[in-house]
Structure 1
Amino acid sequence: MTFTRALSAEFLKLFSTRLWWILALVLFLYVGVMAGGLGALFGWAASGGDASAAGVSPLPPGMNLHAVIYSMASSIGYVFPVLLGAFAVTGEFRHQTLTPTFLATPRRGIVLGAKVVAMLLVGALFGVIAWASTVGLGAAALGAFNLDTALDSSDTWAMVGRGVLAMALWAAVGVGLGALVPSQVAALIIVIAFTQFLEPVLRLVSSFNEVTANIARFLPGAASDSLVGASFYSVAMPGGSAETLFWWQGGLVLLAIAIVTTVAGYFTSWRRDVT
């Protein structure tokens, strides 16, 4: 019953604040606008734009346009569940709410475990929100140009399911990061700098060499894209780059990152005095 009470407390703490729905709203609008805009751009190019008239495909050969557009939910939206998970931990350090929590539940491992489970579920909710946005607006854009939306394909919905799982795992990674780096400002800087600048640059630079490209497959974002099975970033990658991981391998890499960061955080800042 202790874990159940701890889990209920985590949901209560999260849903009693505005942070979760503000992030969810921004996520919905951000990935939706990007997917709809990209769908309209590629739809125009593929159905009679300048690229089509010149005989140039807007995407690399063999790449599914609808998959690239829909997958923007995770390939650019994963930063939101990471931030939510990180803030769920760092906010407790900042506002000292861990003190009464640990007094009520002295077994700190249970508290951290409950927070991970809660964020996994809320991260999955964020995944549903993000994929509903990209699939809905992306399919509308493709349909406007009479292009295949693949909404009747089981592969599309399997990709959506894996994408929801990826977002859930990203939220767990955020919890681990927050436990490892309890400063809210530092965690925010790390998340934004790594997800929006460092990893995209590393993936692009490493793609020019086969050896580094094989190593880059294990970067968190690359593993997430492998789990989903499609990515917007694959459009920017030059030809001849290394094969991606299998979807289950990508999932295991993300899970391993979440476990390692959470365990490391537990044995460092989580066990220290908070007052």
Structure 2
Amino acid sequence: MMSLIKVERIKLLSTKSPYWCVASILVASVLIALVIGLSDHGSQATTVNGVSGVNLGKSVFMIIAALAVTTEYRFNTMKSTFLAAPHRVNVLLAKTVLLAVFGAVLGFVCAIAAFFLTKALATNPPIPLVLEGEVWREVAGYAALFAIAAVIAVAVGTLLRQSAGAISLLLVWSLLFESLFQLIPKVGDKIHAWMPFTAGTEFVSPTSNVETVGRATTSGGPTPIQGLLVFLATGIVLWLIAAVVLNKRDA
């Protein structure tokens, strides 16, 4: 397994797209922290607002994870991979482990950087920005979200095999599709709160009713741990489906 992970690491770092995606994630995290920290002397500089750019970066990171699979199909190197490692699930597992660990590190670093940049720039925050208590969850929790997002993206990339389709589905799902449920009268908000990406975001949200950028926590939704479990369960189910499909179809 370690040999497979090493091979996947070489594949991942041999193309330019991961570097550009990582750079864009860092830029998004820093820029939004910069805006929150400087706007009106940081009057909106809460932890959730300061690291909100990292949540956007999570969608970009899924592009990296999806491309790790679809690029091999695009250039027809997946057959060679399976000839060298006949146990296809092991190959899928190696890709997933590598990207999940990479995502966890990247999410943590970006969130920590955004938090401390916001703290350094905000001269009049509504509450002191101190990395303790549940603030740790709101910041470090992005490590878990990035890791699970990698699992989902690898699964989607394996199922669809085409870069454009996989990336489009992941972006539409994470940024648009779930919000459409809010249009359903009466029950829309409750359904929306339990959708995978929305529920996952609760893990890095405050437990009190705190207004954030474009969002306020609502009653009736999952707790932070419940939200994380919903997101994790989605990733596991999709990954298992992808593993079964990968074993049954031609490379």
- 1:227 corresponds, among 186, 196, 203, to 203
Q: Is the 8 A contact 2:28 2:56 kept in 1?
A: no
For residues 68-87 of structure 1, the aligned pairs below 5 Å read 68-87=48-67
- 1:124 corresponds, among 104, 124, 133, to 104
**Aligned residue in 2 for 1:151:** 130
Runs ≥4 residues deviating over 6 A: none
Query: 2:38 aligned with 1:40, yes or no?
Result: yes
With over 3 angstroms needed to count, the CA separation of the structure-2 counterparts of 1:165 and 1:78, relative to structure 1, is same
Query: 2:102 aligned with 1:104, yes or no?
Result: no
**Aligned residue in 1 for 2:74:** 94
Q: How far did 1:182 drift?
A: 0.8
Q: Which has the larger radius of gyration?
A: 1
**Aligned residue in 1 for 2:235:** 258
- 1:195 corresponds, among 174, 177, 181, to 174
Give the distance between the partners of 1:156 and 1:25, measured in 2 at CA. 25
Q: Deviations over 1:25-46 (max 9, x none)?
A: 11011121122213323645x3
Give the AA of the match of 2:227. G
With over 3 angstroms needed to count, the CA separation of the structure-2 counterparts of 1:204 and 1:118, relative to structure 1, is same
Q: Which runs of 5+ in 2 are unaligned?
A: none
Give the AA of the match of 1:33. L
Give the distance between the partners of 2:137 and 2:238, measured in 1 at CA. 28
Q: Which runs of 5+ in 1 are unaligned?
A: 47-57, 59-64
**Aligned residue in 1 for 2:149:** 170
With over 3 angstroms needed to count, the CA separation of the structure-2 counterparts of 1:79 and 1:152, relative to structure 1, is closer
**Aligned residue in 2 for 1:52:** none
Q: How far did 1:23 drift?
A: 1.0
Give the distance between the partners of 2:215 and 2:127, measured in 1 at CA. 24
Q: How far did 1:255 drift?
A: 1.3
Give the distance between the partners of 1:177 and 1:8, measured in 2 at CA. 22
Q: Deviations over 1:235-258 (max 9, x none)?
A: 43478x433312221121111111
Q: Deviations over 1:82-113 (max 9, x none)?
A: 11111111111111221121111101011111
Q: Is the 8 A contact 1:79 1:192 kept in 2?
A: yes
Give the AA of the match of 1:97. T
SS in 1 for 2:71: helix
Q: How far did 1:132 drift?
A: 3.1
**Aligned residue in 2 for 1:139:** 119
- 1:179 corresponds, among 144, 158, 172, to 158
For these two proteins, the number of residue pairs brought into alignment is: 249
With over 3 angstroms needed to count, the CA separation of the structure-2 counterparts of 1:146 and 1:162, relative to structure 1, is closer
Give the distance between the partners of 2:25 and 2:117, measured in 1 at CA. 14
**Aligned residue in 2 for 1:242:** 219
**Aligned residue in 2 for 1:218:** 194
The RMSD of aligned alpha carbons is 2.6
Q: How far did 1:146 drift?
A: 6.0
Give the AA of the match of 1:166. L
Q: How far did 1:163 drift?
A: 1.7
- % identical aligned pairs: 23
Give the distance between the partners of 1:269 and 1:242, measured in 2 at CA. 40
TM-score, scaled relative to structure 2: 0.87
Query: 2:15 aligned with 1:17, yes or no?
Result: yes
Q: Is the 8 A contact 2:155 2:238 kept in 1?
A: yes
Give the distance between the partners of 2:211 and 2:76, measured in 1 at CA. 39
SS in 1 for 2:86: coil
